[in-house]
Copies of this chain bind each other. A is one copy, B any other.
Amino acid sequence: MEALRCLPGVGPKGAQRMAYHLLQHDKPGAQRLAAALARALESIRRCAKCNSFTEEALCALCASPRRDAAQLCVVETPADLLMMEQTLAYSGLYFVLMGRLSPLDGIGPKEIGLDVLQRRALDGVVKEVIVATNFTNEGEATAHYIGEMFKERELKVTRIARGIPVGGELEYVDSGTLAQALAERRPV
């Protein structure tokens, strides 16, 4: 039970339920889980190009010849990468920071590999860096830092749009978002 508590969202009760369930009703499941965890811990490493999780030296995306190498999308986490892929709207490559700037927690540019990103983006092939960090304070600070980093370079740096969600109605949108959407209005 104590060991299961390391899973996110699992409290004492949940851990207890899980432990008894595995021991009473699903011993093979517990064995598979133990083996899968051990195997993952051993074989999963970071992609040499995008810093995401992979079992090979290069992840499937970075290794694919069908992706557009001129676009590099910077995301905070592998989960965000997955979200971008699910839109089916992006065909470029990625760079995963595995975090965000957060000076209060001692997370600076080095800790999230912004120096690695700089070398990666200036390889001569990348033409556009698309910053897709979250629209939280830390995500915005990270985006700002990345923008400054490539300021004097021959590189287009863009930020995904802020505004009102698809299907969104003004009446139910918070006023901060509405103010942003107004400030960033664009010609029809």
Contacts and interface: CB of A to CB of B under 8 A. Distances in A.
A72 to B, nearest CB: 13
- Name the residue in A77, A84, A134, A136 with the highest tally of chain B Cβ atoms < 10 Å from its Cβ: A134
Interface in A11-49: none
Interface in A84-111: 84, 86-90
Nearest to A180: B166
A143 B186 CA distance: 12
Contact of A131 (B87, B160, B188): B188
A14 to B, nearest CB: 21
A65 to B, nearest CB: 22
Contact of A177 (B165, B180, B186): B165
Interface stretch (A2-10, A56-64, A119-127, A168-176): A168-176
A114 interface: no
A183 to B, nearest CB: 7
A147 B162 CA distance: 22
Contacts of A158: 185-188
A75 interface: yes
Contact of A84 (B75, B79, B178): B178
Contacts of A171: 77, 79-80, 83
A130 interface: yes
Given A75-B170, A174-B165, A188-B158, A183 B89 contact: yes
Contact of A170 (B89, B132, B164): B132
22 contacts: A76-B170, A83-B178, A84-B178, A88-B175, A89-B179, A130-B182, A135-B164, A139-B169, A158-B185, A158-B187, A160-B181, A160-B184, A161-B161, A161-B182, A161-B186, A162-B165, A162-B166, A163-B165, A163-B181, A165-B174, A166-B176, A166-B180
